[in-house]
Structure 1
């Protein structure tokens, strides 16, 4: 697992041991960032269920203004900090140890780009999509993008106030992008 491009391009990231965390493969990550290439620079990023932090770190490497990483596992929290230090990107990052859904409930800030990659069978993806689109929370900025990784055989409902941008398939994995509508 490595950072693809940008200021930390080519750097290898540390990975979590065990099977509880399923890192996004380089092939999927390359596809996602090909689709997002003009939507990263200067943006505020939220990497929920962050695991190793690789998606948010890739954004920071590509010029994102800031990134918040959230994971409930202590070992993931520590590893994200190490990976940020390895890449020299910790100055624009904040790492939160805690429940991702609880973070959404009390975020108090908005993000332009949100990555969601919870454990597939947990039901957390649908709950996170619901909370991101909930009226009055404004976690997702107008025209903000949600990037949701999920099994290719699962179809996601479009969150309220968003539209489906596209679903990309990579074998058994799919990545769906949603864009929030503006405040017209």
Structure 2
């Protein structure tokens, strides 16, 4: 089974398992870029975090390691969800928040959750159609605090992201064939 690791925080260096098939883990380089930007604004510390299309859970668990108050990992695939549970247990051993793993489709979770979140990671399959991603963002919006940050990872070739309604695009960064879109509910990412 493939492995990756937690980059920083309480569980820094902890090894995480990666599902054998069906997921595309975020590279360590991209995760370093994400968390460097978030840490510069103290957005992980005390945050209520949601990781949609979680796969191994690496993004949400990195946030847990860096001080998130709570983390929910949402992954539809049963095999990947089992790996995420195992990884959540590994990270919790460091004293980080224990992540809750929900084995359910992203939109089904959002439509029935009732919880609110400050920081959300959305790393869907690169072939997810734009209209489905938009539907996820529409379902997510009522669950976001103000202000909240949403980080969407897409294939660079997917082109620009048009966020719906009360989400605005703060900035976009490219890393090889990956593009990160930082969305916010209010204010500017650069102002926080």
State the shift of 1:164 in Å.
1.5
User: When the two structures are superposed, what TM-score results if normalisation uses the length of structure 1?
Assistant: 0.91
Match of 1:121, SS state, is coil
1:160 aligns with 2:165: yes
Match of 2:17, SS state, is coil
- In structure 2, how many angstroms separate the alpha carbons of the residues matched to 1:47 and 1:117? 8
Is the 1:65–1:92 Cα contact (8 Å) retained in structure 2? no
Is the 2:9–2:66 Cα contact (8 Å) retained in structure 1? yes
Moved more, 74-83 or 151-160: 151-160
- In structure 2, how many angstroms separate the alpha carbons of the residues matched to 1:159 and 1:7? 35
Is the 2:117–2:145 Cα contact (8 Å) retained in structure 1? yes
Correspondent of 1:74 among 62, 78, 90: 78
Is the 2:69–2:97 Cα contact (8 Å) retained in structure 1? no
Superposition pairs of residues 92-103 of structure 1, within 5 angstroms: 92-103=98-109
Match of 1:47, SS state, is strand
Gaps of 5+ in 2: 188-192
Report the RMSD for the aligned CA atoms in angstroms.
1.4
Correspondent of 2:110 among 99, 104, 115: 104
Is the 1:117–1:125 Cα contact (8 Å) retained in structure 2? no
Moved >6 Å (runs of 4+): none
What's the counterpart of residue 5 of structure 2?
2
State the shift of 1:159 in Å.
2.5
Correspondent of 1:15 among 13, 18, 22: 18
Gaps of 5+ in 1: none
Correspondent of 1:151 among 130, 148, 155: 155
- In structure 2, how many angstroms separate the alpha carbons of the residues matched to 1:7 and 1:91? 10
What's the counterpart of residue 26 of structure 1?
28
Correspondent of 1:178 among 156, 162, 183: 183
Correspondent of 2:51 among 47, 50, 56: 47
Superposition pairs of residues 63-142 of structure 1, within 5 angstroms: 63-88=67-92, 92-123=98-129, 124-133=132-141, 138-142=142-146
Is the 2:92–2:98 Cα contact (8 Å) retained in structure 1? no
State the shift of 1:91 in Å.
5.1
Correspondent of 1:62 among 56, 63, 66: 66
User: When the two structures are superposed, what TM-score results if normalisation uses the length of structure 2?
Assistant: 0.88
State the shift of 1:67 in Å.
0.3
